[in-house]
Structure 1
Amino acid sequence: MYWKWENCVTAWKGVYSGHIHESTFILEAIATYYLWIWHAFFGMPGSHDNNNVQKRSFVFTELAQGCALPVNYTVNGNDYTMGYYLADGIYPKWKTFVKKIPAPRGNKHKHFAKTQESARKDVEQAFGVLQQRFAIIRGPSQIF
C-alpha cells in the first residue's frame, strides 16, 4: 500500500515520489484470510518497487535463508513445514510464492486462478479494514 506523505521534506521529494508522482511511504503487510495481520513493514520510500521492499523485509530475508515460522499442513498427501504467500508475477520464483496463472486453461487451472484471486482480495480487504479502523492510515501522513 502506498501511503501519501503530505508534508514531505522538499529535499526528500524525489526519493519518496514513485509511480503515482506524489510523495509516499510504502506499507507492506502479510495477512491471513480472516484479516489477521501478522507482519507489517513500514517506511520504505514510495519510489521503490515490490522487489526492493521485499529485499529489505526481514520476513523475506529469512525465507531466502531457509528460515521461517513453522507452519505444518498437508496437501494431496504431501506434508509442508513452511507457509506460502500469494504473490504477483514480479516476485522471484521461490517455492513459498504462489503466483497467478496468467492465462489459465482447463477447468482445474481456471478454478485455481479464481480461488487465488478471491484470496488475494482478502489482503486488499485487510488494508481496507486498517484504513477504516485507524484514521491515520486513511488520510495523508502529516509527519514533520
Structure 2
Amino acid sequence: MSERMGRDCTYLFCEYVIELYRDIYLRHPTKSDVEQLYAAHEAKHGFPGMLGSIDCTHWEWANCPNAWRGQFTRGDHGVPTVILEAVVSNDLWFGMHSLGKAPDMSYVVNGNEYKYGYYLGDGIYPEYATSVKSFSFPVDEKRKLFKLT
C-alpha cells in the first residue's frame, strides 16, 4: 500500500468514526456522565473526583512474527504487545474546565472541596490543572496503590 493510500484510508476511517460516534462519545460530558465517572472510579480505585486515567494500554499480540518478538516484548508483560493510547484534542478534556464547558461537579477530599474532577496520568503528559501525575518512586503502600491506578 502506498503512503498516500494509507493516509487516505486513515482519514476516511477517522471521518466514519466521528460520524458514527459523535453524538454518544465525541461530546462534552454532562452532569450525569460526570456523576457516573466519579462513582465508578471511587468504587474501583477509592479516589473521589477521578474522571479517568490517561495512559497507554498493552494489547497482547498473539500472532507476532518470531523475528519481531524481542522488539515487542517488555519484561513486565512477558509476551509481545502492541501499545494503544487514546489521544484527544486539548480542548475536549483538559481545556474544557478553563473554557467553562465542564459541568461544575465538586467533590470533597479530607475536608477540602474541589470544583472539578481530574485525570490520572504519568510524566509524559503536559502540566494541566485537571491532570494528576503519579509518584515516580512510590515508597509507602498508599503511594504504591496510587501509582497502580
TM-score range, shorter-chain basis?
0.3 to 0.5
Query: Counting strand residues as a fraction of each chain, which structure ranks higher?
Result: 1
TM-score by length of 2: 0.41
Which of the two has higher C-alpha Rg?
A: 2
TM-score by length of 1: 0.42
Higher RCO (CA < 8 A, seq sep 6+): 1
